[in-house]
Every structure is written in C-alpha cells, then in structure tokens.
Amino acid sequence: MFETQENTDLGQNLKTNTKTPPGEFELSESRKAVTNSAEPVVLHGYTATRMVLFRDVCDTIRKYAFVSSELPVIVSLEVHTNREQQQLMVDIMDESFKGMLCDPIDLPDDKGNTKPTKPELPSPSALLRKILIKVKYSPPKPEPEEAPLPGSADAESTESNENAMTFSPDSDDEAAKVIRKPEKLSKIIDSLSQMGVYTRSCHFKSFSQVEAALPTHVFSLSEKALLQIHKEEPSSLFKHNQNFFMRAFPRGLRISSSNLDPALFWRLGVQMVALNWQTMDAGMMLNEAMFANTDGWVLKPEGYRRHSIPSQSPLASAGTSRLSVEFFAGQDIPTPKGVEDAKFHPYVKCELHVESDISTDGRAKDGEYKQSTKPSLGCDPDFQREVLRFDNIPALTPALSFVRFKVMQGERFARDEMVAWACIRLDRLGSGYRFVHLFDSKGMQTKGVILVRIDYSWKVKDIAVPVAKESSVTASEGKGSPKKLEHKILHGFHKKLSLQ
C-alpha cells in the first residue's frame, strides 16, 4: 500500500484566488489535463481553480519526487485533451522525466504490431527513482493492411466480390444496405497509453473481463462503487486485490473536501486510497499513522498479499482484545487561538479504529470505541492518572487498526474544539510508559506531548501477521520497579527535560 493524494490542487477544491508559482504547488495524485491554445494545462475539473501548465507540473515532480525517498512515484493522469495535445503531453513527459520512465514491456511482433504482455510486476526496490505513469489503457490496434495495387490478382478478387453484392429491389432498405462504419478512434492515443507500463488504468466491468488478468492493470473506483462491489462480490474483490492494483477515490459529492475512511478500504486490500490532503480530518490522521516513518510504501499484512491464502473471510473472526491507557500529564499542549492559559480546559478523547461491519457510505468518522478524560487546566495539564479502558474488542489486524488521541478544548456554549492530536497504528503501539507526540489541527508537529502508560492484549485475526513465539502481543510492564520507574519519569517530565 502506498500514500495517495486526490485532487489537491492550488488551495480548496472548488475555487482559489492564489497565484501559485511553478514549483511551489502541491503534487497531486490525480489531476485533469485540459487544452489551451499552446500547451496542455492542469486544473481541478469543473471548478474555479487556477490552471497550471502541464510542463510546470512535470518539471516540479522531477525536482521533488525523490528528495526524501528513492522509491517510485506514480503520476495519475485524467486526460481531457485532443490527440494533438496528447502527443504534446508525451513529448513533455519524455523531456521532463528523461531517465526516470520505465522501458516499454509490449514488444512488437513480426508484423510490427504490439501486443500486451503479462509480465510479473517488479518490486518497488527494482524501480528506484522511477516515475510510473498511470493513464487509461488503449490496446494497440494492428496496422491496416495496404490496399492491393490496381490490376493485381488481389484487386481483381476484391472487385469481383464487390460486384457480386446484389440487392433485391423488394428487400427492406435498412436490411439490404451494407454500412461500413469507420473504426472508432480511442480517446487516448497509442503513444500516451504506452507510457502506462506497470500502471494501466482500465475501466471496471467485472472481475472476469480480459484486463482483470493482466498484472499491469489498475481499477479505479469511487468509494460508493467499491463498497457496492464488496457487498455483491466480497471474495472476488479481496482475491483480486491480493494480486493486482486497485485505487479508491472520494465520491464527487464531497464538495467540502472531506475524506473517506481509508482503513475501511485498506482492509479490503486496496493499495491506493486517494485522500484530500488539504483537509486534516479523521481520514488524514489515519493516513498519517499508516505511513509514519516510512517512505510512503508499506508492505501489506500476511494474508492480504499475493500467494497468501486466508483461512477465513477478512471480516470474520472470533475472540476479544483489550486496551487501557493511563493518563499522567501533558506538556506544551497548544492552546486555541485567543484563549488564555488560565481559561484553557483540555481533555483527551481516545478512540479505537478497528474492524467492524462495513457501512455503505465510507465516511471517516470517530472510532467505534471512544472515551474521554475529565477536563484539566492549562497547557501543562495534570490528568490525575485517569485510566480509560476498552474491553471486549473484536479480533483485529494490528497493522490495519489504529488508536487516535484528540486533545479537545471544552466549550460551554459551542462545539468542543480539537487543538492537537496523535494517531498510532496498533502494531507500532508500545507498551508501558510512553510519550505521545502531538500534531496541531493543520497536521504540523508541535512540542506538545502527553505522558501515558499503555497496556494491551490483542486477539489477532487468523488473516493477520502471526505472532512469533519469542514475542508476545500482550503488553508487559517491563523490568524494574514500576513505582521507581514512574517516579523517575514523572520527575524528568515536570523538569521539562529534552524529550526523545
């Protein structure tokens, strides 16, 4: 699975008045190319966003694609240009991405016609510093045969056959006429389509269609369509995603740029879950937890990968898990704008995002299990060792489950405001005494931390990563005296020592 952006263009989705210099706009996972009189431009279709030259987008991607990681970057194109402009797009990408594009895998046959091959998809490590173009796949068509020369045997044969075509005057005109329709041209020219080497976008009809067996295909489905397919063919969907790429994107009615629940689709095996990065909501927080401290690519859990045979449905398993969080204190909690420290009453809302019955709306909502601490006071609050316990949690896949901490400002006459947050994947959740580092409401890391003590026991589903014998999924308190360790940590915490 890998991080995926959806239509994060030049500010808000519907309109923007910002003049964004080339090289400083956010790279979008999905952009629409349209036509002007000179070169293709990029914008968020059917909205009032400003356009940017396609050439500038490509140059910016080249400049920043591999600054923090050499793992491959996928550029997804939604093309609405004419054929001449599409060829310009090919020329621009050949120039901007020179040395970064993948070599073609469809080799010509004896007649010079290319045929789609069925290669094994390479590992990301084999595609370092490569830019993969995801574009609609247009199967190559054989070149038309040359017309026979006049007077040749073939020409005489053709003429004879044509002269032999007679129609009865009594026959129905519509039935008698032979209409030779010109071959319909593909909306995507062959040279642009062939740039989609390992990521060929194909329209989904069914899991039995020819393209569904090609390793290079990618099905892109809206959240609503994907959930409907899961409802009708859950086994086929999961099996497909064990072997091939699939992309989920937000439905078009999300005009406020809200996000779907990515964990819901990750659990269906979807690798690319596109999110609106400009909205720091529950969906983006889960995304941050999924890909934290990675280069944007994460190996799927065992059972979700190719050659894995799950013993049962990924949504059905028996057993329970538990989690308890003891809250000691906070430090440097960011205060709401315009609120004095003496009037700041923070409390922590703790939520668990685990498997549950799949809804049909895909909304990124609060976790199924949630509790809150009592309000405290100030930016260095004392939570009085309050303990929040979550019991009887269904069996889960830790790598696809999350705990979310939200620091809220209690309001008497208005909705409580979130001032900071943290989200952690359960397989990365440490036991014992821990500092939880906080982000602000815009997704930026702050100095704020919360000191907690974590204790848990997971009932891991059969489809999840097996637990090694030398380790245990049950959190232990660790070595040494808990009382002495607690005193030492609290003493250092309140002296505001450097936090690591």
Residue pLDDT, tens place only, 401-455:
999 999 999 877 778 999 999 999 999 999 999 999 999 999 999 999 999 999 9
Phi and psi based region of residue 293 (left: phi greater than 0; alpha: psi -120 to 50; beta: remaining): left
- Mean pLDDT of the region 27-35: 44
- Mean pLDDT of the region 30-44: 66
Model confidence at 15: pLDDT above 60 = no
Task: Give the residue among 206, 58, 50, 74 at the shortest CA–CA distance from 135.
Answer: 74
Q: Pick the more confident residue, 242 or 475.
A: 242
Residue pLDDT, tens place only, 126-181:
999 999 999 999 876 665 555 555 555 444 444 444 443 333 444 444 444 445 55
- Average pLDDT, whole number, for the chain? 79
Which tokens sit at 43? 């914008």
- Taking 3-state DSSP, the helix, strand and coil percentages for the chain, each rounded to the nearest 5, stand at 20, 25, 50
Q: SS3 of 278, please?
A: coil
Model confidence at 6: pLDDT above 90 = no
> What domains does the chain contain, in order, with CATH numbers?
2-141+185-291 (3.20.20.190), 320-494 (2.60.40.150)
Beta bridge partners of 76: 30, 134
Residue pLDDT, tens place only, 204-224:
999 999 999 999 999 999 999
What pLDDT is recorded for position 317? 52
Model confidence at 310: pLDDT above 90 = no
What pLDDT is recorded for position 104? 85
In the chain, pLDDT over 70 holds for what percent of residues? 69
What pLDDT is recorded for position 213? 92
Q: What angle, rounded to 10 degrees, do the helices at 223-232 and 234-243 form? A: 120
Task: Give the residue among 216, 214, 243, 246 at the shortest CA–CA distance from 102.
Answer: 216
In sign, the C-alpha dihedral spanning 122, 123, 125, 131 is positive
Say if residues 377 and 369 touch (Cβ distance below 8 Å): no
DSSP, residue by residue, 420-439: EEEEEEGGGPPPEEEEEEEE
Q: Pick the more confident residue, 17 or 85.
A: 85
Which tokens sit at 327? 């809250």
What pLDDT is recorded for position 97? 98
Model confidence at 324: pLDDT above 60 = yes
